[in-house]
Amino acid sequence: MTESPSSPASIEEAPRRGRLLGLLAVALGGVGVHLWFIAGADALDTDRATVLLMARRFAEGELVPYFWAQNYMGALEPLLMAPLALLGWATPGVAGLVALGLTLVVAACTVRLATRVGAPAWIVVALWALPSAPVAHHHVSLYGARLATGALVAVALVASMGARSRLGWWTLGLLSGLAYFGDHLMLPWVAAVAWVAARRGGLRPWTWGALPVVLLDTVLAARTPAYHLSGPNDPFDWLWNLPRLVTVTLPQLFGLLNSPGPVPIYRAPASVLPTGWVGWLLLVVGLGTLATVGGTLIRRWRAWLGLVGTPEEKCIRQALALVVMGTVGLYAFTGGGGDPWTVRYLVPLWPPLTIWIAWGLGRWPPVRRLALLGLLLPAAWSLVASEGDWPPRGDDGAVARAEAATVQAALAPHRPAAVWADYWDTYRLSLHLGEPPHWVPLTVIDRRPEVRDRAEEAAPAAYLLPRAWVDGQEAVLRGAQASDVAIWADTTVVSYRLVVTERAVSGVVERNPPPSRARQLAAALGAGLLFLMAVAVVARGAPRVAGRTTSDTPA
């Protein structure tokens, strides 16, 4: 016997189908936005190119534990791309699709956590779909986005709510340890999984799963050079991180500012909102929304600190609060260093923030929520269509390929054995054009010292310098004259000045100096000690918090 179209079951099923179709439409729209940014993947920066260059070396058997020239970020993403490199698929576009897959994993875990604390799933999906800063860049790139590590800890946190066996907790500890090895800035997420393990009686096997990976990380880090450890020129620059958090980084995270990213010289972020009254309207609505949600969370602070609610809600909310407080705390001491592109340090905040915002908006009437989404869509579109060279999107990839082809044609007649360039051009052009010649950075970081050693003895040499970098050009010319090195060519190539000399010129390098051996050891041991301290705090704090909340009633 079949149900009639007007039966109670079919009437109830219709709204459910409508909600699912709406949720699917929003999710597909978000995937489309991501694909629009992936379409410009060939206009990548040199950091993202490093992942693919390393993947190709991995496929040839040249394995290293960390990203080249740093010892706090394990090479999980190049390892993930290595099988594709064996097939010849280690390209920027494929890497963007892999990044999108990892993003979908983290987004799905975020939605799962949101539904378990009573936050509307469709709002979370909409926040992930709209092109904020994480969507515009960090969700379609494999370097700096912490996508591999983010997927590991997101899966571990969701799975921890159902873990029961010692083997299950040990496995989740292993995943957490790998995430910490992949990036030490994921410590708050690792601590959140440990918190759930402590609340549910699985902290000891979880620790035994994570500890071997962390100890291995400490030993390997102590033996690996890390040029990033030189740090900012001003040792007190971290004092500016908190005001920078409010004025620059959080507006970037929510898509109100668009950071131009790693251009040869960092530029200050600019507003993505339209000019005129429309821009002011969207700004007021956006800030008003955040203020309203913030007020809701402040009024119900006991709920979001996990002091009231069901046992499961308490546990998840405490874990998410730990992620937020820990990430902001780490940013206060490590984020930025004077860099206006600081939003990458707060990408791990995006999952819990979207859950908090969805929970706050979920207390609004449905009509107001839909009206808000309608007003935010133009702001999202303004970021997709905004002018500028960052983030790359659409046909920017074709422009980048054409530029690389022009550079290759300019180099071909001179057949240089080595090309020296700005850091932000070195590895991306090496990815596009291949080796030979050797590509060596003049600025920031020398990720492959063995290549530099060969390049210093190679001849002839070429210097491909941005035309805006006048000091670098003058240094090459002065160095050539002082060393009696003949200049064979001096010409303009698209946005560069190409100088070809009979051999390498000394005195041009402006790279970060290598840190002392003592500083490397202190950084490696400090990272291991920080993990142990976090576990100790969780082990001591979780029972105390549990004891204070056992008598609470659900919110």
Tell me 462's DSSP state: E
pLDDT score at 11:
43
Low-confidence ranges of the chain (pLDDT < 50): 1-3, 8-12, 230-232, 264-265, 550-555
The answer to whether 488 and 461 are in contact (CB under 8 A) is no
Burial code (b: 16+ CB inside 10 Å, e: under 16) for 462-483 equals bbbbbeebeebbebbbebbeee
Q: Which of 274, 299, 291, 301 is nearest to 372 (CA)?
A: 291
Cα separations in angstroms, 144 against 147, 150, 178, 183: 8, 11, 16, 10
- Long-range contacts made by residues 24-27, C-beta under 8 angstroms, separation at least 24? 26/122, 26/125, 26/126, 26/129, 27/125, 27/129
pLDDT at 215: 95
Please return the burial class of 552, using the count of CB atoms within 10 Å of its CB with bins 0-12, 13-18 and 19+.
middle
221 CB-side CA count, 13 A: 30
The number of beta carbons lying within 10 Å of the beta carbon of residue 304 is 24
Question: What percent of the chain lies above the pLDDT cut of 70?
Answer: 82
Length of the chain: 555
Q: How far is it, in rounded angstroms, from Cα 82 to Cα 143? A: 15
Amino acid at 206: W
pLDDT at residue 82, rounded to an integer? 95
The pLDDT, as a whole number, for residue 12 is 47
- Say what the pLDDT of residue 472 is: 86
Question: Phi and psi at residue 440, in whole multiples of 5°?
Answer: -135, 130
In the block, tokens 């600025």 appear at 443
Delimit the domains of the chain by residue range. Answer: 30-394+524-549, 396-511
Contact (CB, 8 A) for 318 and 306: yes
Q: Annotate 348-369 with DSSP letters as a single string.
A: GGHHHHHHHHHHHHTTS-HHHH
| pLDDT score of 298 | 81
Q: What was the pLDDT predicted at 554?
A: 36
Phi, psi of 507 (to 5 degrees): 85, 15
Give the pairing of strands 438-441 and 418-421: parallel
Long-range CB contacts (< 8 A, 24+ apart) of 402-409? 403/494, 403/495, 404/429, 404/432, 404/433, 406/493, 406/494, 407/433, 407/464, 407/493, 407/494, 407/496, 408/433
Compute the distance between CA of residue 241 and CA of residue 162 in angstroms, rounded to an integer. 38
DSSP, res 74: B
Mapping DSSP onto H, E and C, the string for 110-148 reads: HHHHHHHCCCCHHHHHHHHHCCCHHHHHHCCCCCCCCHH
pLDDT tens by residue, 61-70:
988 898 887 8
Query: Is 18 exposed, middle or buried, given 0-12, 13-18 or 19+ CB atoms closer than 10 A?
Result: exposed
Model pLDDT, residue 94: 94
The structure tokens listed for 303 are 């709920």
The Cα–Cα gap between 227 and 416 comes to: 27
* Helix, strand, coil percentages in the chain from 3-state DSSP, rounded to 5: 65, 5, 30
Look up residue 381 and give its two tokens. 């579109």
Per-residue pLDDT, 246? 79
Question: Contacts by 447-456 with C-beta closer than 8 Å and gap 24+?
Answer: 447/50, 447/67, 447/68, 447/69, 448/68, 448/69, 449/69, 454/418, 455/417, 455/418, 455/420, 455/504, 456/418, 456/504
Sign of CA dihedral 90, 495, 383, 268: positive
Q: Determine which helix (DSSP H) or strand (DSSP E) holds 91, and give its type and residue range.
A: none
State the Cα–Cα distance between residues 282 and 373, nearest whole angstrom. Answer: 11
Q: In sequence order, which ranges of 200-310 are alpha helices (DSSP H)?
A: 203-222, 241-244, 250-253, 277-299, 301-304
Residue 511 DSSP class: E
The Cα–Cα gap between 448 and 452 comes to 7
Dihedral sign of CA atoms 435, 436, 439, 440 in order: positive
Number of Cβ within 10 Å of residue 79's Cβ equals 17
pLDDT for position 79: 93
Written in H, E and C, the secondary structure of 409-461 is HHHCCCCCCEEEECHHHHHHHHHHHCCCCEEEECEECCCCHHHHHHHHHCCCE
